[in-house]
Structure 1
Amino acid sequence: MDFYFDDLPSTSQSTPKSGQEDSQMTEDTDNESPRGKSSSLSMTDIQEQNTSSKDKLVAKVTEMCQQMKEHLFTVYEENSNEMQLKLLELSEVLESCTKLNSELLEASHALAGLRGALAISKTSETQKLSDVRIIC
């Protein structure tokens, strides 16, 4: 009986030897190391870019806030000056109204005195007329 073992697959080919396995793992880790370093470098670069972008954004926002603040002060001053002029004008108008009110009160008192004088004179005329009728 002859048995041929040559046709059967060899177990040594399918299973790596312990020395080969270690060298393959070392190669795999060596291949991943630069990738790991480059990814960590790129993460650092990304973080720096994000920080730089945030710093630029903060600077831009601060600048815009300062411009807005200056604009608000300018508008406030313009409005304040306008209001000052209008208040001065209103004060003059109120002073004129007070003066006119005083003049109207004087005229009213004068008219009341005149009406009283006319009433007295009318009473005396009525008295005279009734005296004249009695005589007639």
Structure 2
Amino acid sequence: MDFFFEEQPSTTQSSSKGHGDSLVTENTDYDPSGDKSYSVALTEIQEQQGSSSVDDISRRAQEMVEKINQSRASDQNVMDSFEQKLIQKVTEMFQQMKEHMYTVYEKNSAEMQLKLQELAEVLDSCTKLNDELVEAGQALASLREALGITQSSNQ
């Protein structure tokens, strides 16, 4: 990975990192192009800055991963809470539907009971009328017999 730095180290910088960095003092007549120690010092400073940048990027990446994990944990908590509330609401709605269903059953049962009672009364009345009709038919048959009327003589 290439790192580009807009700021080049000045000749007045010194480093106290303990890595044997050389102290460069300000000298306006100094031409660094031919000095090897200046080149080594410049390279070490660039490496430290590169290392510092890599460490900074690594730290920031780790912080982002931690934020993402915290966000995921928060999302999971929200989903768990939503699930519990949904289960509670569904349970409440189910209970209400069940109670309504039983109320409808009771109302329908009462109406069916009335209809069944009316049907029983109508069937009882039909049975009595049928019994009366049978008796009337028997009475007519007896009367016909007593009078001697036969069905064939009517013709």
TM-score between both structures, scaled by the size of structure 1: 0.70
Could you tell me which residue of structure 2 aligns to residue 130 of structure 1? 149
User: Which structure 2 residues correspond to residues 99-110 of structure 1 after superposition, within 5 A?
Assistant: 99-110=117-128
- Give 1:116 shift: 0.8
What is the Cα-based RMSD across aligned positions, in Å? Answer: 2.6
Q: Which has the higher contact order (CA 8 A, sep 6+)?
A: 2
1:51 maps onto 2:69 in alignment = yes
CA distance in 2, matches of 1:16, 1:44: 42
Instruction: Give the paired residue count.
Output: 118
TM-score between both structures, scaled by the size of structure 2: 0.63
1:120 maps onto 2:138 in alignment = yes
CA distance in 1, matches of 2:101, 2:111: 15
CA distance in 2, matches of 1:16, 1:110: 136
Could you tell me which residue of structure 1 aligns to residue 8 of structure 2? none
More helix by share: 1
CA distance in 2, matches of 1:62, 1:75: 20
- Give 1:58 shift: 1.1
**Misfit runs of 4+, over 6 Å:** 15-18
Unaligned stretches of 5+ residues in structure 1:
1-14
